[in-house]
Amino acid sequence: AQSVSQHNHHVILSEAASLELGCNYSYGGTVNLFWYVQYPGQHLQLLLKYFSGDPLVKGIKGFEAEFIKSKFSFNLRKPSVQWSDTAEYFCAVNAAQGSGNTGKLIFGQGTTLQVKP
């Protein structure tokens, strides 16, 4: 069965600190990878995505992620966090089925990031 594991459940950082959130997935086939963010009181928004090509992808608000196929990982990074980055972050995997695209996303448990001003 496909699964996604996020290493950190709760992270507390001070403003300007660097961020790295770990994500590993379990699936042997072709995957599409996503990071979503849920700000307090808001709905899930896409931060960035990887479908193919350059394994280092850049998203909105200065976030980036690196896909390492050999490690089944897709870690999220940001060089300098801001108080406004306080939110819950979800890693998700979409395993492309043989019949075509599918909207089924498998999510990790989420990481709550708290940034202290």
Partner 1 sequence: KAGVTQTPRYLIKTRGQQVTLSCSPISGHRSVSWYQQTPGQGLQFLFEYFSETQRNKGNFPGRFSGRQFSNSRSEMNVSTLELGDSALYLCASGPDSALSNEQFFGPGTRLTVL
Catalog residues that contact partner 1 under the rule CB under 8 A.
32, 34, 36, 42-46, 49, 51, 90, 92, 94, 96, 100-110
- Coil, strand, or helix at residue 105? coil
Main-chain dihedrals φ then ψ at residue 91, nearest 5 degrees: -95, 140
Question: Tokens representing 45?
Answer: 């928004």
What span, in angstroms and rounded, lies between the C-alpha atoms of 14 and 45? Answer: 23
Question: Which amino acid appears at position 38 of this protein?
Answer: Q
CB of 71 to partner 1, least distance (A): 23
> For residues 3 and 18, which CB has a smaller minimum distance to partner 1 in the complex?
3
> For residues 17 and 106, which CB has a smaller minimum distance to partner 1 in the complex?
106
> For residues 43 and 69, which CB has a smaller minimum distance to partner 1 in the complex?
43
